[in-house]
């Protein structure tokens, strides 16, 4: 069993793919499935990755395309339905201890369009440059900027209406 | 309040908040922000938002990678196979016909029928409820005493809810479930700091059930089940964990049930 040494370079990126998928989809099982699909695709096409180019961007691009395809196909893969009957497309966690602090930001994220959520997360969580986000999403950088602006302003509206709970929490 | 330099736009405010401006432009934006409380509060929000997103989602980075996930050869399993594996759960549930064959890989091929059935029921109940975000449990741990009394009455046996806090798994609560053969079963759910969940499925077994060792089954999607029969009761601990990690928890559960 090979451990840290000799580990495939993709492995180091798995936690990041997971984090983004979890934030994007708001559902653990769906996110794990998307990451798994991404790994499978990346592995089968690894010969196409040019050494020296940004592996992270390449992986995120693959994952984005897989997700975009799934959305286009109606994303009716079994087992991936939200069991939440609230009608929200994005499940909102409200367990006992996270109701106060975690739900607002996730709730608000769920209300963004997918386009806006992608940009807000790639820039805000993955700390990607606007150009990297544009590469991953396959859109011009101007589109990234306008989606980022609309997404963040929508979040500002939503979270400001939430008693400012989030704003108080973060220094 | 006219500014002689290029006007500060929305893009500048975002880039300032994200730390992506060169020093000259950054200084210009700072001047602008000092003059415009509205711009200042927007920039402050963008920054807080990034911090909050990290605070919420960075814990995912610390979640362990299974050995399988670190092995590229295991990534190639086809999407179709995975869809079929999950669909198997759905179809079985919908048809009400419970069969373990085709659903689970058993490493105990000699296991006599009731035990795999127990494992399959537990896996299905886990698949249905562990992903539930709003209503993972029917009765939350805050009403633990009520929960245990109620389930004991419905199962006709004294039920215990094991506590796994010392292993990092918090009891969330539980629910009543139908058992495949008729009668009732129940499920307790636990969650760790990373948001992973495991479930303990309990049901009454037939009078003539022999006791068994811990047996292991794994659903193709990585959900593992340890199950055993003990004193007319069937137990199954289910989760997306490595076999050894799950077994460690099984031993703790077993000790608590026996004590």
- Within this chain, do residues A69 and A113 fall inside the same structural domain, yes or no? no
pLDDT digits (tens, 9 = 90+) for A12-60: 999 999 999 999 998 888 898 899 889 988 888 888 887 777 899 999 9
Least Cα separation, residue B227 to chain A (angstroms): 23
The domain in which residue B57 lies consists of 10-62
CB contact under 8 A, A78 and B86: yes
The residue with greater pLDDT, B111 or B192, is B192
Range of A57-71, A128-142, B179-193 with top mean pLDDT:
A128-142
Strands B139-140, B184-191: parallel, antiparallel or unpaired by DSSP?
A: unpaired
φ, ψ of residue A7 to 5 degrees: the values are: -70, 145
Highest average pLDDT, of A55-69, B2-16, B57-71, comes from: A55-69
Which residue out of B61, B72, B128 would a mutagenesis test of the A interface target, given it has the greatest number of A Cβ atoms within 10 Å?
B72
B126 and B214 in a common domain: yes
pLDDT-above-90 percentage for chain B:
46
Write out the residue range of the structural domain in which residue A77 sits: 8-81
Whether residue B45 is predicted with pLDDT greater than 70 in this model: the reply is yes
Token pair of B197 as six digits: 């969940």
Q: How many domains does chain B have?
A: 2
- A33 to chain B, closest Cα gap in Å: 9
| Any domain includes A155 | yes
Q: Check residue B154 and give its pLDDT.
A: 92
Residues A168 and A99 in one domain: yes
Contact (Cβ atoms closer than 8 angstroms) between residue A98 and residue B194: no
Q: Which secondary-structure segment (H or E) carries A57? A: helix A55-72
Question: What is the rounded average pLDDT for all residues in chain B?
Answer: 80
Among B11, B20, B79, the residue with its CB nearest the CB of A129 is: B20
Do B187 and B165 fall within a single domain?
yes
Give the residue from A135, A170, A167, A156 showing the smallest Cα distance to A58.
Answer: A135
At residue B135, the 3 state secondary structure works out as coil
- Low-confidence winner among A32-36, A134-138, B150-154, B179-183 (lowest mean pLDDT): B179-183
ipTM over 0.95: no
pLDDT above 90 (res B9): yes
Q: Answer whether B90's CB lies under 8 Å from A79's CB.
A: yes
Residues A166, B48: C-beta atoms closer than 8 Å: yes
Domain-terminating residue out of A24, A50, A81: A81
Bridge partners of residue B105, in order along the sequence:
B218
User: Residue A170's pLDDT band (boundaries 50, 70, 90)?
Assistant: very low
| B1-10, B20-29, B228-237, range with the lowest pLDDT | B1-10
DSSP of A105-135: HHHHHHTS-HHHHHHHHHHHTS---HHHHHH
pLDDT bucket at A80, cuts 50 / 70 / 90: very low
Same domain, B52 and B29: yes
Q: Over the stretch B147-173, which tens digit does the pLDDT of each residue have?
A: 999 999 999 989 999 999 999 999 999
For tokens 């006007």, name the residue: B7
| A2 domain residue, yes or no | no
CATH of the domain at A46: 1.10.1740.10
**CATH number of the domain encompassing residue B182:** 3.30.200.100
Is B134's CB within 8 Å of A102's CB? Answer: no
**pLDDT score recorded for residue A74:** 54
Tokens 């037939």 identify what position? B206
- Residues on chain A touching B196 (C-beta within 8 angstroms): 28
**A16–B61 C-beta distance less than 8 A:** yes
- Is residue B121 one of the residues assigned to a domain? yes
Quick check: A1 and B83 CB within 8 A? Answer: no
Residue B147 lies in a domain: yes
pLDDT at position A122: 97
Question: C-alpha dihedral over A156, A160, A164, A166, to 10 degrees?
Answer: -30
How many pairs of residues across A and B have Cβ atoms under 8 Å apart?
140
Q: Give residue B208's pLDDT.
A: 60
- The string of DSSP letters for B59-105 reads GGGGSPPPTTTT-GGGGGS-HHHHHHHHHHHHHHHHH-----TTTEE
CA distance A80 to B30: 46
Nearest CA of chain A to the CA of B131: how many Å?
7
- pLDDT range class, residue A86, cuts 50, 70, 90: very low
Q: Does B112 score more than 90 pLDDT?
A: no
Whether residues A113 and A158 fall in one domain = yes
Q: Chain A: nearest CA to B50, how far in angstroms? A: 5
B53 and B106, same domain (yes or no): no
pLDDT value of position B134: 83
Residues B125 and B48 in one domain: no
What pLDDT is stored for residue A26 in this prediction?
85
A93 with A163, same domain?
A: yes
Residue-level pLDDT at B65: 87
Inter-chain residue contact A102 with B56, CB threshold 8 Å: yes
Q: What residues in B contact A19, CB-CB < 8 Å?
A: 57-58, 60-61
Same domain, B155 and B81: yes
Residues in A closer than 8 angstroms to B45, CB to CB, are 152, 156, 159, 167
Q: Which residues contact B44 (CB under 8 A, 6 or more apart)?
A: none
Q: Are A125 and B57 in contact (CB under 8 A)?
A: yes
Question: What pLDDT score does A128 carry?
Answer: 96
Give the one of A15, A80, A91 whose C-beta lies nearest to B133's C-beta.
A91
Identify the pLDDT of residue A75.
Answer: 44
Query: What separation in angstroms does the CA of A92 have from each of A99, A170, B192?
Result: 10, 21, 18
Give the mutation candidate from B76, B134, B190, B222 for the A interface (greatest A CB count, under 10 A).
B134
| B118-134 mean pLDDT | 87
Q: Is residue A13 in a domain?
A: yes
Q: Which helix (H) or strand (E) holds B234?
A: strand B233-239
């Amino acid at each position: 069993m090979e451990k840290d040494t000799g580990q495939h370079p993709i492995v180091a990126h798995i936690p990041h793919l997971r984090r983004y998928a979890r934030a994007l989809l708001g559902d653990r099982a769906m996110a794990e499935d998307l990451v798994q699909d991404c790994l499978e695709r990346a592995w089968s096409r690894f010969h196409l990755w040019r050494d020296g180019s940004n592996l992270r961007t390449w992986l995120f691009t693959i994952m984005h395309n897989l997700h975009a395809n799934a959305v286009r196909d109606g994303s009716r893969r079994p087992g991936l339905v939200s069991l939440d009957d609230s009608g929200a497309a994005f499940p909102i966690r409200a367990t006992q201890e996270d109701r106060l602090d975690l739900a607002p930001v996730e709730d608000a994220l769920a209300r963004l369009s997918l386009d806006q959520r992608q940009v807000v997360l790639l820039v805000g969580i993955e700390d990607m440059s606007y150009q990297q986000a544009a590469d991953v999403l396959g859109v011009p950088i101007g589109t990234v900027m306008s989606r980022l602006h609309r997404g963040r302003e929508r979040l500002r509206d939503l979270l400001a209406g939430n008693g400012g709970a989030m704003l108080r929490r973060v220094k | 309040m006219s500014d002689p330099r290029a006007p500060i736009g929305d893009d500048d405010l975002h880039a300032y908040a994200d730390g992506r401006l060169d020093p000259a432009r950054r200084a210009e934006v700072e001047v602008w922000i000092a003059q415009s409380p509205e711009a200042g509060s927007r920039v402050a929000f963008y920054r807080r938002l990034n911090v909050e997103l990290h605070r919420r989602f960075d814990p995912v980075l610390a979640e362990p990678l299974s050995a399988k996930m670190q092995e590229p050869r295991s990534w190639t399993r086809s999407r179709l196979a995975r869809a079929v594996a999950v669909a198997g759960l759905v179809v079985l549930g919908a048809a009400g016909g419970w069969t373990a064959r085709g659903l689970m890989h058993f490493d105990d091929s000699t296991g006599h029928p009731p035990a795999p059935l127990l494992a399959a029921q537990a896996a299905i109940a886990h698949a249905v409820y562990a992903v539930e975000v709003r209503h993972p449990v029917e009765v939350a741990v805050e009403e633990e005493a009520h929960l245990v009394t109620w389930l004991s009455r419905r199962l006709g046996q004294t039920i215990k809810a094991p506590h796994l806090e010392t292993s990092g798994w918090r009891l969330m609560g539980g629910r009543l479930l139908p058992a495949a053969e008729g009668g009732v079963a129940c499920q307790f759910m636990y969650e760790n700091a990373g948001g992973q969940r495991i479930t303990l499925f309990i049901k009454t077994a037939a009078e003539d059930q022999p006791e068994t060792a811990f047996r292991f089954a794994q659903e193709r999607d990585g959900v593992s089940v340890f199950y055993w029969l003990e004193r007319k009761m069937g137990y199954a601990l289910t989760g997306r964990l490595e076999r050894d990690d799950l077994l460690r928890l099984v031993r703790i559960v077993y000790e608590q049930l026996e004590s």
